[in-house]
Amino acid sequence: MKNLFLVAYLDIRESLRSKWFYVYAFVFGGLMGLFFISGITDSVVMGFTGLSRLLLVFMQVTIIILPIFILVTTVKSISGDRESNILEYMLSFPISLKEYYWGKFLGRFVTVFFPVVVALFIGVLWGLVKGGELPWAMVGLYSALIFSLCLVFLGIAFFISTLVKSHDVGLGLSFTVWIVLLAFLDVALIGLMMQNRLPDGLIISIAMLNPLEAFRIGAIALFDPELTVIGPVAYYLLDTLGHDFLMLYAVLYPVLLGGLFALFGYYLFKRKDLL
Amino acid sequence: MRVVKVKNAVKRFMGATVLDGVSLEVDAGDRIAMMGPNGAGKTTLVRSILGFYHLDAGSICVEEHDPIRERVKVLASVSFIPQLPPPVKLTVTELLRFVERSTGTPVATVRSRAEEMALDLERHKHKPFFKLSGGMKQKLLIAIALARKSRLLIFDEPTASLDPKAREHFYRLLEAQGHEYAAIYITHRAEELEGLVNRHITMDLGRIVEDVRV
Ligand SMILES: Nc1ncnc2c1ncn2[C@@H]1O[C@H](COP(=O)(O)OP(=O)(O)OP(=O)(O)O)[C@@H](O)[C@H]1O
Ligand SMILES: [Mg+2]
């Protein structure tokens, strides 16, 4: 266990020295901070809707940026370590594969999630200073949703990095996963609905298997409990699942999926050649 | 005492047989110069001993332990220097900390080995490892490897980027190792290791084609 934290700590130190981290922290943390700050400020003036509209925009940005950022930087760093023989050297020391793999995972998770927490914190502070009414439950749930989103893509990234050895193939696969998940958010789904006469329930279930969809619906449900933004699907979802279950699903499903991918990755890491 | 026992090791990469039934026994006190043309399978063999590869056939034991299933036990007594210094992004201080925590070798010990290699770590402690010069990297890797007092040394071309003086230091350090150890040095210039080794092994096309004591 002590080596697990050591590996995590060193990974965090390394990330803190890398440029991608600052770009990421700046883009993502900055965006989030901005939206929260202006959202909270606005909400004092305009009431609830001011905050909501900004959150909606921010959510769209998150859905697009966060996954690709996590996938690319993680796959790049892990398969990069393997290709440049850093992995060979570090693993020639007596630490178990378990400690190494999960230590890396923990380290990565902290670096990915940290800017988000800081941005949230700044937003909340700003809100307190401005004296606005803070939507605590919303802030908390939104953080939980982002936590799950980080986790699921980290899990997929670790899985990809252990599945394919080559850096380029890994990156290619990351982009493919990202595009497919984005496409199935809307476009592909609609196409599917129109061409094949599949039952609505099935189509919606498939859509809900997409962790991005789970996040999107969870995030929308936060400030639009009737889900009017997403159209008729909303009735189906709310009728069959209910609002609370939907929220629970949006938070827990990605965590489970990410954990599962990370576990598969670990299994491959142990079973296949390390280099 | 038997340190390494390789029995009929076969390793294939994408259909190409890289280790073609290698058998090798290394006893404590054996100092091996391992030679052979590029692509002969030398690096693959030592990586297999370190537990990086799953063999297609055959077996490997290091001090009675399986290098994959019991990697921590095996690696606790093995020092390894790779063929090329890896571009590790940790700073020198962080790397030494990693070594200390994972192997129990005090930072001070590595530091004094480095001094004996004429490498002043104090001046470079905040630099990322990959920003050291080629020779400095090599010296630090040697200092770490020797500070650990391992019972098995596996050095893949350790002297490649050392200047003649550093090479001297390296030999002197090896001679001053105050404990029994076995060593496998992969090299393309056996004459450089003369006096250090007592066994020559030559590999070609994934097989050991010569094994003589000198
Ligand atoms: N991970 C790998 N995947 C595919 N092929 C590999 C891998 N590692 C080594 N090989 C192939 O195995 C063969 C032997 O490689 P190895 O690195 O063991 O040679 P070597 O004897 O160390 O050569 P050199 O003197 O050049 O270092 C080469 O043909 C190499 O291309
Ligand atoms: Mg080699």
User: What CATH number does residue B126 fall under?
Assistant: 3.40.50.300
What is the distance in A from the centroid of ligand 1 to the CA of A78? Answer: 21
Per-residue tokens: B135: 């020779």
Q: Which residues of B touch A103 (CB under 8 A)?
A: none
In angstroms, the CA A24 to CA A10 distance is: 19
* Cα separation values, B210 from B27, B33, B105, Å: 17, 11, 36
Q: Are strands B182-186 and B16-27 parallel, antiparallel or unpaired?
A: unpaired
Ligand 1 pocket test target in B44, B84, B155, B185 with most atoms within 8 Å of CB: B44
Q: For the purposes of burial, counting CB atoms within 10 Å of the CB of A140, is it exposed (0-12), middle (13-18) or buried (19 or more)?
A: exposed
pLDDT digits (tens, 9 = 90+) for A224-254: 777 776 767 777 778 888 888 889 999 999 9
Contact of B140 with B121, CB cutoff 8 Å: yes
pTM of the model: 0.92
pLDDT at B192: 81
| Model confidence at A49: pLDDT above 60 | no
Whether A97 contacts chain B with CB within 8 A? yes
Whether B47 contacts chain A with CB within 8 A? yes
In angstroms, the CA A275 to CA A165 distance is: 8
pLDDT at A243: 83
Residue B175 is part of which domain span? Answer: 2-213
Contact of A251 with A140, CB cutoff 8 Å: no
Domain boundaries, chain A: 2-271
Ligand 1 pocket test target in B11, B34, B42, B46 with most atoms within 8 Å of CB: B42
Average pLDDT, integer, range A200-222: 84
3-state secondary structure B147-173: HCCCCEEEEECCCCCCCHHHHHHHHHH
* Cα separation values, A146 from A64, A181, B207, Å: 13, 17, 54
| Lining residues, ligand 1, CB within 6 Å | A 275; B 13, 18, 36, 38-44, 83
Q: Are the Cβ atoms of A94 and B52 closer than 8 angstroms?
A: no
Q: What stretches in chain B show pLDDT beneath 70?
A: none
Greater confidence (A206 vs B123) lies with: B123
Local confidence band at A41 (pLDDT 50, 70, 90 cut-offs): low
Q: Whose C-alpha lies nearest to ligand 1, atom 13?
A: B39
Q: Are the Cβ atoms of B86 and A88 closer than 8 angstroms?
A: yes
- Count of structural domains within chain B: 1
What percent of chain A clears pLDDT 70, i.e. is strictly above it?
84
Q: Are the Cβ atoms of A93 and B87 closer than 8 angstroms?
A: no
pLDDT digits (tens, 9 = 90+) for B11-50: 999 999 999 999 999 999 999 999 999 999 999 999 999 9
Average pLDDT, integer, range A41-57: 56
* Cα separation values, B79 from A44, B138, B143, Å: 64, 14, 11
pLDDT at A47: 47
- B42: region left, alpha or beta (phi > 0 left; psi from -120 to 50 alpha): alpha
Contact of A112 with A21, CB cutoff 8 Å: no
In angstroms, the CA A128 to CA B14 distance is: 61
